[in-house]
Each structure stands twice: as structure tokens, then as C-alpha cells.
Structure 1
Amino acid sequence: MTKLLSFVGTGQLYDTIYRLNGEEYHTAVVQEALCRYYKPDEVVLFVTREARSRNLPIIEAAIPSTPITIVDIPDGKCEDEIWDIFSIVTDSVHENDDIIFDITHGFRSLPFIALLSIAYLREIKPFSLSGVVYGAFEARETIHLESGKEISRAPVFDLTRFVSIFDWMAGVRSFLHHADAGVLEQMVNQISDEEFSQIQSRKGTKPLMDLLGPMSTYAASVRLSRPVEAMKTAYSIQERFEAATGAIKKHTPVLTPLLSKISEIEHFALPEPNILTDAVIQKQRDLIQVQLEMGLYQQAVTLGREWMVTVLLFAAGAGEEWLKKETRNEAENSLSGAEKVLSTQSKAQSLRNDKEKPRFLDWFCSHVSWKEMTGIWSRTSQMRNELAHCGMNPESLKVRQLQKKVDKFPDVLDKFYALMMGLPG
């Protein structure tokens, strides 16, 4: 059902020509102009006690052919009354309604409440918003009719695009704090579709569309713990962002400062992240930190354990092979083998069978800090297993205990790196 929601004011209604999207409507009642343009199935009028006695009869007489629902609201003179108005307005919107919200005569805080109501409703109810409109009588011009009579002509502003700011804010927040590009993808597709409907071309929004691919891939890479792809796509975003910024300024200029925050991920950008360098190691470490801040604990611990393997390979001079499955298996087996060495009474006995000995075990066990690093590796593996098995064990850690361990994980990683590289701790 299409509904026009409108506030009834108490001020004098002047004979006006309201102009909306090239159409003009001669009336003193803005609700009549809106009904003639949008043709709603129902008009919901919010009225205070004073508005009911003053202007409500005039409005009812102006739109006799449209069903009207009259809803009483308080004056909004205190906080409790404002909350009451908010509840009344939101309760007037039902699932699958198509809403046009008229705030022309919204007095005091009513326009603010209207916008908040829309933002709130979009989170809890499926409905569509066809317009947020404002009959700007104060922006009127005086014209002369053929009869010689002077009359005001006022624009009706469509403020719907301002409501989309909430969506853009949610999209940027979801991308930066939750590694989810879905909302931004929806918003970019929307403005691209609008451009196409107007000029049968997507040329202006193409730079934004070109940015979507790497943004979606980056977000998925963070969630799925794919650091190499995350760094590579962050570099692609960095390359394309300048062109996209031009499109942002053209189509959504007010959002430029907000959307520019996406460039924060350039910290993770590398053109060749498959070549192991200290920069790759540090950016992976920072990516683990981001995962933890996003609450992606299992992904962060899993990547952290793999990161330790990478640090070992880098320190052992096997960086050129760091992405080879066999090499990584050898490094992981060396760390796990060191656990066995620690658990035996004789190190010589545990290292006796050279054929079964992992490739990097001797090198690692000759490191001055090998015992401390082995303990870190062992505890990390235990935490990884604790997360992976989802508490399906009567002896599993409670959530609070596990959370404390996860919170300390960045310090554990930094300690492992410092020990491996011989840095002062």
C-alpha cells in the first residue's frame, strides 16, 4: 500500500503553486499537491490538538477522494512527548508499505524525528521509501497569473537522497569494521542504475563500479584469511581509488569525506605480496590485528599460526619457497617436531633419525630462543584447536577464558617475531 505520511501544521495556509519534478499544482494545501502527484492509497495525517482544530478541516476538504487516517500526536514539548511521537510515527508504517514522507509542516523537532524514524524503520521492517518531501514555501517566488493576480510559486524538495547517507555510512562502516562490501555494492549499483535511467549510460559511475570488484575481493579475503590476495586487492583499490573519487564528487559530493575513509586500507597494499619480504610479514601481522578488531577470532588465530610458519621460513632463508605446500609442511613439522624434542629427555635421541627429521628442525633447535618459541607455537596450536572444535569437549575453555587468550594473541605474535629475528624483547 502506498501511504503519504504528513504532519499537519498550525500556521496559515497560503494559496500557492507547488512545483514538483516539472509538474505544478495550484493549491493552499501541500498534501493535495502530493496526492495529485504520487496518488497514494492512503494519507496518514499526524495532528496535535491545535492542528486538529485549525488546519485539519481544510486539508480534509482538499483531498476528499483519498482515504485519510488521522493520528493524534503530542506537541513535543518535552523528551517524553518526543519519544511518544517517534513511537506513533514508526507504528504507522507497516510491512511492505510504500511510503512518501511529507515534512513540510513538521514543527520543532518533527523533521528530525521523521528522518530518524525512517532510518530506524529500515532496520526493522521491509518497506519502500518513494520520497521524503518538503514544500519550501520560504523559497517561493512571486509570479503573475493571466488574470493579473500575484501568487507564490514554491518548489517541493525531494530529500530522499539525504536519507541514503545513512546507508552510505552503514556501508563504509560494514566494509572497514566488518569486512563486508555488500551494502556499498548495493549503493553503487543504485546510483549507477539511476545514471543509466537518465542518460542511458554508466560512464560517469564506471570508476565506482570498477572499484567494487577489488573491494568485494578484499573484504572476502579478510574474512577467509587470504592475506596474499588481501594485499594484492588492496593495491588494486589504491590504484583505482583516485578515479573513483572523481565519480564520488560528481554523483555524491557530500559523501566524499566519508567514502575517502576506504583509502585507509592502503596500508595493506602491496603490488607483489607473493614475494616474501619483511614488509609482507608486517602487513600480515597487521591484518591479523584487524581480524581481531572485527571479531574474526578463529580466522585471526588460524592466520597467526600460519604467520609463525612464514616467519620461520623468512628467518631460515627459505623465503623464495614460502608459498610452496611442501616447504610449509616441512616448516610446520619442524615446529611441531620441536615440541617432541622438548618432551623427550634426550635431545640427541629425538634427532637421531635423519630420514624422518623435518627439514628445518636442526636449524630451529639450534636457535638460542627455540624453547620459548616452541612453547608459543604449542599454545597457539592449542588455541587454534580450541576454536576449531567449537567447544565440543567437556574440558573446553569457557568463552571468557578463551577471550582472554585471544586478546593477548597480538603480544604473543610480536614476541615470537622478536625472538625469531633476534630482536631485543
Structure 2
Amino acid sequence: MAKIFLTVVGTGDYSPTEYRLGDTVYKKERYVQKALLSMLKDKGEHFNRIVFFLTARAREKNWEQFTAARPNIDGEKETDEGLKPFLEKNFSGIYEALDICEGKNEHELLELFNSMFDAIGENDEITFDITHGFRFIPFLFFPVMSYAKELKNISIKNIYYGLFEKEKVSDIIDLKRYDEILDCASSAHNFRCSGNSSEICNVINRRVKTLPDDEKSILGRYNSIAKCLDDLSKALLTCQGGMQKFSISKKAENLMKNKQRLENLNEKEHRIFNNLISHAITSVSELSTSELPYELGMKAVEWYISKGLIMQAYTGLRECITTFFCCTYAPNHECDDAKFRQLAVDRAITSSISRDEKAPDKASCLRIAAKLLKDDSLTEAQKKEFASVFVKIITHIDFEKMRFIQRVIEFRNHMNHFGMRKNSNNVNIDHVEKHFSQTKELFKDIYERRNEIISDEEALSKLMPDNNFSGGFINFSNHPSSKWSEKQLEAAYSLCSSSTVTDVQFLDVPADLTEEEIQKIAEHYAEKITAMSPDVVMCMGEFGVSHKVTEFFKENEITVVYSCSERIVSEHITENGTEKSSVFNFVRFRKY
């Protein structure tokens, strides 16, 4: 890091005056740069480079020597030592004079900007004197420095300006506070665009470090409130939903409590920080007013969309959908119960959507729900509760209005897996805005029809045996189970819970059927068997239909098997010669 002193030389007739910096008064001097550099040197301030920006006229007027523009009372033009001799004597080897244009048109304005920017190095610490700045150059300093802060990571130590007084001591003041105001504006802009409030904390922290100890406590209060804002910002950016102490809702609640302290901090000295924090808090204030978890989630998603945070928006939206279903179909159950969300609610949601154009049938969804009643990882009470909620969801929702959720899941997974999946989709802000709107419409539809939700008892009744849910072992072949051996029947019973085998005849499939016709036959049998809620299906028949049906069962987590037999060949000698006969003895079932 280099310490750089930057200054601009103008074309004025600078009159001598006594300049004062802090408690130090310098002898009468025409150029503020001479007085300022001398006093800073006496205070132990060291610079690696001292840069003077000069136009051609400024170089002629004030560099080698000073020449007054107008004659004095004696009719002579007054002359004096210019800046260069002073610098050669006191700062030889570290000063440089850079020629600049006057900025008379847009082209020259950009050239002037670039000249000042190019004079600054990476990570430089800048001290700037703008007292004798030519025309608008002092104004140009601020955009140059803001630009260099971002692109070259510079820091501003001091911005000096000499208040010229003809008959009095002229004070040199530090305008660093104006640079702090620009930093405040930049941090507010950064928070508005990205949702990251860390720079707001940094701005206040930098100010606190410059204050004497007796003043730090006042600004420290702003710092503590900014820390609460930063905690909320981090919770939002890391998608901390739920009700934990580090969640969005808790951090928002804590921020709103601390906001009241701002009303008691009316010191004019720190009003800038009061305005900054108040403005930032206003943009997140609604996050503390939500009564239901999914309402908070939807407000957070809207906040993400406004910042262009697509990944967080999709993560929040996907979980909001599950949370809404939890609150709607199981209002008395904790919506952050991970097992309940996964097995009952999420499984009901995913079973009701499809990757293709055809919506799932409710019979296949009920079969999935029935499996919850046999899930050994659940208690008896959980089995009934999870299954009933599952059924209440799939019997109430409009499958067509659920279709978009598949895209929400795909987009969320695409981003969360860093795009490292085949057939991943490109995602942009238009997608998430559309899906956010569709989610609100879905919620509205479900809420308006909430009186149509069936009871727990009715939901469970739809999973009982008298509702065509035979369960057990389904024999989908043209070999009736009545002709099976005792060994084969026992093997079938061992694979299911109900010790029943139900035959579904695998009809002959003509060889001249098209692929489309084969697909229709497969879909017919797949839906028919699925509606029977089987534990296991034995599928053996025409290869095309068997393949499609088997794939369907596997995708829907239905165990599908085939029979394995041993062929025993025997020979018998008869009057007509030797005859061979084959007997097939069942050995086992094997999964596809």
C-alpha cells in the first residue's frame, strides 16, 4: 500500500496567508500545498508519491515561478517562487507533475477523469488537497475516488481544503466526512440491490474507530443496531427459514425491537447514520409482521426477487409450498417437523405432479399413501396422521394447478447442484416471477376451497381394503396362481404383508400392434394394478408390455419381480422310441 498526496494547481493569483492545520500555524504562504505539505511533514506524515495535476496555463503561471496576472500599485507584475523549487528542495524524488487538459468538452472531460484515475495505484491510501482546484476539478475528485475504491481498492485518509482569509489565519479543514456520506450512499445502494448489509456495518465501524473514546458510545449504539440488520441480512441470504433463534423471523423481530432505540438517537452529528439505518430497516420491516410461517416465506421470496437473488428465491419458494400445505392440511402439526414434511406433505406434492404431459391419477397417489400405513419407521399414531394428511392433500388439490411445481423443483435442484446434472435448464428472473405468481394463485385456490377438505376419518377410510386396495402379491401373467406349487405360493406370501395372491390376466398381445398401441395397453394395466395398492407385482408376459409396465412400477416404488424356475428334462423309452419331457420347478422370485 502506497501513501499518495494528490493536489491540483490552478491559475489564480494566490495571495499569501497564514494557514493553520489543527494547532499548527504556518508562516505566510501563497500556496496552500507548501504550507500543508510542510505541516504534515513536521507531524511525521510520510508520502510515497506526491502528485500535482496541472493544466498548461497553471504550469506557466504557478509551477516554475509565480507571476501575477495584474500589475501592482507600482505598475509592476509581482513575481514569487513557484511550487517546483519548493518541491525540489523538500520532496525531491517523490513528487511528479502530471499535465491535464482543461475539460472543455465531453472528450476532454473523460480524458481528465482517466488522467486522475491512472495516477492512482492498487490499494493506495489517498490524501487529497482540493483548495486550488481548477474550475470543477474538486467536484470531479469524488466520482474518481468512488470509481477507484471499487476498481483499485483504495482508501481515503484526508480531503483537505484551505479556507482562505485575507486578514486572518486561514484554517485547513478536512472534508473526509463528505467521503463518508458517499460511502453511506454506496452501502445503501449495495443493500438495496443485493440485500447484503455488511458494508453498512463497515461504514459505521470505520467512523467509530476515528472518534475519541468519549464519543464512541453514542455511535456504538448505531453500530449495534446495524449489527442486528446484518444478522437479518445474513439469515435472508442463507435462507434461514423456520423458527430457530438464527432464523429470518427471529432476526427480524430482534431488529424491530432495537429499531425503537433510533428514536432516542437524534444527535445532529450522526443523523447521516440514523437515516441510513432507518432506510435499510424500512425495506425489511414487513418480515417481522407475518403471522404464519408461509406468509413470512412468501415475503422473503418477494424480497429475493426484488434483489435478483434467483437461487434464494427458488429455495424459499419450494419450501413455502410445503409449509403452506402443512399449515393448511395439518394446522395442529409443527410445520418444521422434517419427517412429517418429507414423508407426508412433500411425498403427496410430488406424487401429484408429473414430468410429462399426463397428470398422475389419484388411484396411484392413494397407493403411495397406503404405504405410509406399513412404514415401520413410523409410530402407529404417525402412520395414521401422515397417511390421512397425504390423502387429504391429493383428494383436495387440483392436479392441473400443481403442474408448475415440477419446474420449481427442477430449477431449485439445478442451482443447488451447481448445474451439474444432465438436461439442466437455464434459469432467469422471469421464470421465478412467473412461478411466484402461480404459487400465489395456487394458495388462493386452496384457501378458498378449504371447506372441502375431508376429515381425517374419511381420509383413512379411503385406504381401507373395501376400497379396492387389495395389497398383497399381484400375479400379472398368464399363469394362474391356482396352478402354482406350494413352494411358489409360500415365496409369494413371504414378500407381502397380507399373504394374498391376486391374479391379473396378462392377455395375448398381437404381433402387429404399433408402439403407440403397446403403450396404451401398458398404461391400462399399470393403472389397474396400481389402484390395487400391491406390495409386490410379478410381471411376466409379452416383452414390450412387460418392459413398460415394469418401468412404471419401478418409478413409482412398487416392487416388481419375475419367477425363476429350474428346467428338469427326463427321457423315457417307449415303443415308438425315446421321448423327452420337461418339468419346470419353481426356485425363487427375483427383482427386476
Q: Which TM bucket (shorter chain)?
A: 0.7 to 0.9
Q: CA–CA distance in 1 between the matches of 2:3 and 2:415?
A: 49
State whether residues 245 and 260 of structure 1, in contact with CA within 8 Å, keep that contact through their aligned partners in structure 2.
no
State whether residues 262 and 274 of structure 2, in contact with CA within 8 Å, keep that contact through their aligned partners in structure 1.
no
Q: CA–CA distance in 2 between the matches of 1:219 and 1:124?
A: 25
What is residue 11 of structure 2 aligned with on the other side?
Answer: 10
2:337 to 316, 321, 324: 324
User: What is the identity, as a one-letter code, of the residue corresponding to 2:54?
Assistant: V
Aligned CA distance change for structure 1 residues 241 and 417 (closer, same or farther; 3 Å): same
Q: Name structure 1 gaps, 5 residues minimum.
A: 143-151
Aligned CA distance change for structure 1 residues 380 and 153 (closer, same or farther; 3 Å): same
Aligned-pair identity in percent equals: 21
What is residue 37 of structure 1 aligned with on the other side?
Answer: 39
Aligned CA distance change for structure 1 residues 96 and 177 (closer, same or farther; 3 Å): closer
2:430 equivalent to 1:416: no
State whether residues 205 and 247 of structure 1, in contact with CA within 8 Å, keep that contact through their aligned partners in structure 2.
no
Q: CA–CA distance in 2 between the matches of 1:376 and 1:96?
A: 49
What is residue 391 of structure 1 aligned with on the other side?
Answer: 419
2:394 to 357, 361, 365: 365
State whether residues 4 and 51 of structure 2, in contact with CA within 8 Å, keep that contact through their aligned partners in structure 1.
yes
What is residue 305 of structure 1 aligned with on the other side?
Answer: 318
Q: CA–CA distance in 2 between the matches of 1:351 and 1:242?
A: 50
2:90 to 65, 68, 75: 65
Query: Which structure 2 residues correspond to residues 66-81 of structure 1 after superposition, within 5 A?
Result: 66-67=91-92, 68-81=95-108
1:192 to 188, 193, 208: 208
User: What is the identity, as a one-letter code, of the residue corresponding to 2:406?
Assistant: S
Aligned CA distance change for structure 1 residues 323 and 112 (closer, same or farther; 3 Å): same
SS state of the match for residue 321, structure 1? coil
What is residue 145 of structure 1 aligned with on the other side?
Answer: none
State whether residues 227 and 287 of structure 1, in contact with CA within 8 Å, keep that contact through their aligned partners in structure 2.
no
Q: CA–CA distance in 2 between the matches of 1:352 and 1:74?
A: 83
User: What is the identity, as a one-letter code, of the residue corresponding to 1:24?
Assistant: V
What is residue 58 of structure 2 aligned with on the other side?
Answer: 51
Q: CA–CA distance in 2 between the matches of 1:75 and 1:350?
A: 79
Q: Give the superposition deviation at 1:163.
A: 0.9
Q: Give the superposition deviation at 1:96.
A: 4.0
State whether residues 312 and 420 of structure 1, in contact with CA within 8 Å, keep that contact through their aligned partners in structure 2.
no
Query: Which structure 2 residues correspond to residues 204-353 of structure 1 after superposition, within 5 A?
Result: 204-228=218-242, 229-244=247-262, 246-247=264-265, 249-264=267-282, 265-270=284-289, 277-278=291-292, 280-329=293-342, 330-339=344-353, 343-344=360-361, 346-347=363-364, 353=371
Query: Which structure 2 residues correspond to residues 139-158 of structure 1 after superposition, within 5 A?
Result: 140=165, 142=167, 152-158=168-174
State whether residues 248 and 255 of structure 1, in contact with CA within 8 Å, keep that contact through their aligned partners in structure 2.
no
Aligned CA distance change for structure 1 residues 311 and 319 (closer, same or farther; 3 Å): farther
Show CA shifts across 1:70-103 (max 9, x none).
1111122222112111111111122343321111
Query: Which structure 2 residues correspond to residues 43-192 of structure 1 after superposition, within 5 A?
Result: 43-56=50-63, 57=65, 58-63=82-87, 64-67=89-92, 68-137=95-164, 140=165, 142=167, 152-192=168-208
Aligned CA distance change for structure 1 residues 352 and 187 (closer, same or farther; 3 Å): closer
State whether residues 4 and 101 of structure 1, in contact with CA within 8 Å, keep that contact through their aligned partners in structure 2.
yes
What is residue 373 of structure 2 aligned with on the other side?
Answer: 355
Q: Give the superposition deviation at 1:239.
A: 1.8
Q: Give the superposition deviation at 1:373.
A: 4.4
Q: TM-score, with normalisation over the residues of structure 2?
A: 0.63
Q: CA–CA distance in 1 between the matches of 2:15 and 2:146?
A: 32
Q: TM-score, with normalisation over the residues of structure 1?
A: 0.86
SS state of the match for residue 408, structure 1? helix
**Higher RCO, 1 or 2 (CA under 8 Å, sep at least 6)?**
1
What is residue 146 of structure 1 aligned with on the other side?
Answer: none
SS state of the match for residue 411, structure 2? helix
User: What is the identity, as a one-letter code, of the residue corresponding to 2:257?
Assistant: E
Aligned CA distance change for structure 1 residues 119 and 75 (closer, same or farther; 3 Å): same
State whether residues 249 and 256 of structure 1, in contact with CA within 8 Å, keep that contact through their aligned partners in structure 2.
no
Q: Give the superposition deviation at 1:162.
A: 0.7
Q: CA–CA distance in 1 between the matches of 2:32 and 2:404?
A: 71
State whether residues 196 and 233 of structure 2, in contact with CA within 8 Å, keep that contact through their aligned partners in structure 1.
yes
User: What is the identity, as a one-letter code, of the residue corresponding to 2:312?
Assistant: Q
SS state of the match for residue 227, structure 1? coil
State whether residues 26 and 35 of structure 2, in contact with CA within 8 Å, keep that contact through their aligned partners in structure 1.
yes
Aligned CA distance change for structure 1 residues 82 and 328 (closer, same or farther; 3 Å): same
Q: CA–CA distance in 2 between the matches of 1:110 and 1:335?
A: 64
Q: Give the superposition deviation at 1:250.
A: 4.3
Q: Give the superposition deviation at 1:394.
A: 4.2
Q: Give the superposition deviation at 1:328.
A: 1.9
Q: Give the superposition deviation at 1:179.
A: 2.4
What is residue 24 of structure 1 aligned with on the other side?
Answer: 25
User: What is the identity, as a one-letter code, of the residue corresponding to 1:260?
Assistant: S
Q: Which of these two proteins has the greater Rg computed from alpha carbons?
A: 2
Q: Give the superposition deviation at 1:366.
A: 2.4
Q: Give the superposition deviation at 1:160.
A: 1.2
Aligned CA distance change for structure 1 residues 246 and 90 (closer, same or farther; 3 Å): farther
The 10-residue stretch of structure 1 (49-58 or 120-129) with the greater mean CA deviation from structure 2: 120-129
Q: CA–CA distance in 1 between the matches of 2:265 and 2:209?
A: 14
Show CA shifts across 1:313-343 (max 9, x none).
2212424411222332222122223348953
Q: Give the superposition deviation at 1:308.
A: 1.0
SS state of the match for residue 158, structure 2? strand
SS state of the match for residue 25, structure 1? strand
User: What is the identity, as a one-letter code, of the residue corresponding to 1:48?
Assistant: T
State the number of aligned residues.
Answer: 402
Q: CA–CA distance in 1 between the matches of 2:191 and 2:123?
A: 28
Q: CA–CA distance in 2 between the matches of 1:109 and 1:20?
A: 25
Aligned CA distance change for structure 1 residues 306 and 36 (closer, same or farther; 3 Å): same
